[in-house]
Amino acid sequence: MVINIVIGSVLVGYIVWTLYRFFKKSAQGKCAGCAIKDSCKAKCD
């Protein structure tokens, strides 16, 4: 019973953290949120 609560809490925490990162990066814009923006050849204006 307790292990189910712990596993559920970990899963919900991971989902919330992943969604937070996704929305934070999407709010920055296409190129600002890109992991390879420093070496990218695309024109981002």
How do residues 1-41 score in pLDDT, each as one tens digit? Answer: 999 999 999 999 999 999 999 888 887 777 776 777 677 77
Number of domains, the chain: 1
pTM over 0.95: no
31, 44 in Cβ contact below 8 A? Answer: yes
Q: Give the integer Cα–Cα distance in Å for 28 and 33.
A: 6
pLDDT of 43 > 70? The answer is: no
Provide the residue range defining the domain that includes 31: 1-45
Q: Where are the beta strands (DSSP E) in 1-45?
A: none
Radius of gyration of the chain (CA): 17
pLDDT attached to residue 25 = 81
Q: Long-range contacts for 23-30 (Cβ within 8 Å, ≥24 apart)?
A: none
